[in-house]
Structures are given as structure tokens and as C-alpha cells.
Amino acid sequence: MKKLISLVRNVHSRQCQPKLNWSAQVRFLQQDTVSKPKPKKYKYPSFYDPYGPRPQPSSKIVELAERIAALSPEERKQIGPALNEHLRLPKQQMISIQGMLSVGAKQEAGAGKVEEKKEKTSFDVKLEKFDTAAKIKVIKEVRAFTSLGLKEAKELVEKVPVVIKQGLTKEEANGIIEKIKAVGGVAVME
């Protein structure tokens, strides 16, 4: 019976005592000791060509280049337009530089130079007003010659008067104005 009592005391004392395993539960926050591998260093050629090696030009091309180099500067200036006409390439259009013109005018005013007026080559189409009964038709026309969605075109038309297309030639601008007039709107060229 003494053995039974001592056994019960041992079991009871072990269950009532808190387990202290601090050594197993303690963790130190340390950086990984594993070193990161160094990045690979690639050897690039002294001249990098992303398109790869190009074949040597043919003898015709070399001969043509020599003949062009032998021409006078005036004749060389005529090669580009002649090739465009011969190959029937589209005409190059002027780039709109409206914001840059005011900056240039300020600089030239300080220098005292007076610039002659040049003929205007790019035009803007401005929607002045429209008939309220034809509002949907006007919105459809605006969508037809702009890359706007239905909501954006509706918001643009509701902001009348508003510029709806910029940087057009005179013929293109007149065509758009005629289309808008046909559906019940009033547009002008600026």
C-alpha cells in the first residue's frame, strides 16, 4: 500500500507542477546564416547589337551609296521627295506645336525679331451648339470621328462649346463640319 501511495503522489505531483521547458521554447531571432549567392557577372561584347549580326550589303547597294555620296548637296536634298513620289508614299503632315508657339513667341519678343505670319495648316473643329432633339445623333457623329466611348462622347457634347478634334487639315475639318451640320449641330473651324 505504501508503494501505491508513493506512486499516486508522484503522478499527482507531476501533473500539478507546471512544465518548464524553457530551453526548448526559446528562439532567437537571427538572420539566416546561409549566405546569398553572388549575382552572376555576364561578359557583354564591347559593341552590343540587339538585332544580331547583319549581312554585308550587296554590291548594288554599295554602288548606289557611292553614287549618292558623289552628288552635290542640292541634288541630295531632292532624293527624299523624289523617292516618296516614285514609291507613292503618303505625304508627311506637320506636327501640331500649339503650346510651343507661345513659348517661342515670348523668346523672340525678347530678342526683338518679328516673325512673318505663315498660312495655317492645322485646324481644330469646335462644336458650338446643337439642336436638343438631335443630341443623340450628334453624339454618334462625335464618336464616329473620335476614339471616344459613348459616355465620354456624351460628356464632351454636353460641355458645348468645346473643341472636339484637333490638328486636322482644312479638307478633313470641312468634312467633319458638314457631317455635324447634317445631323443638327453647329461646328466651326478654328
The three state secondary structure string of 60-81 is HHHHHHHHHHHCCHHHHHCHHH
> What integer pLDDT is reported at residue 117 of this predicted model?
57
> What integer pLDDT is reported at residue 64 of this predicted model?
92
Write out the chain's pLDDT in tens, 190 residues: 667 777 767 665 555 555 555 555 555 555 555 667 788 887 766 776 777 777 888 999 999 999 999 999 999 889 888 888 888 888 777 777 766 655 555 555 555 444 555 667 788 888 888 888 888 888 888 888 887 888 888 888 888 888 888 888 888 888 888 888 888 888 888 8
Q: How far out from the chain centre does Cα 67 lie?
A: 41
> What integer pLDDT is reported at residue 85 of this predicted model?
86
Helices (H), the chain: 2-16, 22-25, 59-70, 73-77, 79-86, 98-111, 135-145, 150-158, 170-183
